[in-house]
Amino acid sequence: MLGQIEDAKGDVSQLQQQVQNFIGQGVDAIIVNPVDTNAVKPIMDQATKAGIPLIFFNRRPQAELTDKMAYVGSDSELVGRLHMEALAKAMNGKGKVAILMGDIANESTRDRTKGVEAVVAKYPGIKVVQKQTAQIYAQRCGGCGQQLDDRRRRYPGYRLQQR
């Protein structure tokens, strides 16, 4: 079995071009970690038209999958709840947290954050002092390290929940 790996580097149009190239090469299947889970319809349509199975992993597409499509990954909302439950326990149910999210174009970020917030709502002693995207990819993050240091100074004693 031969395989080819491409990196779209966070660029939706580059991912679409890569899928078109794979289709042009006549591959037997395409496995994709979507750049933007809301922007998968064009590649789904292309793969369907070509009769090539399309497997999404890690980030669940926000579109109905057809017969030759599958998603392999975790339940992101459950992951968020489990993360925050562990953090709440470690904090003895009280304290300050900052929620630093990944790329909000992805279902995993949105659903994990939803899970975190659902757990925070059960703990009146836990206060979210800040919530924003941290752009977890270093090449797109820029000064994330500096941002974290600034937050630590502004909110002494806060705990970090990154998702």
Question: What is the model's pTM?
Answer: 0.63
How far apart, in Å, are the Cα atoms of 120 and each of 42, 82, 84, 151? 37, 11, 7, 19
Per-residue pLDDT at 152 exceeds 80: no
Between residues 92 and 36, the one the model is more confident about: 92
Q: Which CATH architecture best describes the domain 76-162?
A: 3-Layer(aba) Sandwich (3.40)
Confidence class for position 2, pLDDT limits 50, 70, 90: low
Tens digits of per-residue pLDDT, 51-61? Answer: 999 999 888 88
Q: Quick one: fold of 12-72?
A: Rossmann fold (3.40.50)
Q: CATH 3.40.50.2300 residue ranges in the chain?
A: 12-72, 76-162
Six-digit token pair at 15? 């991912």
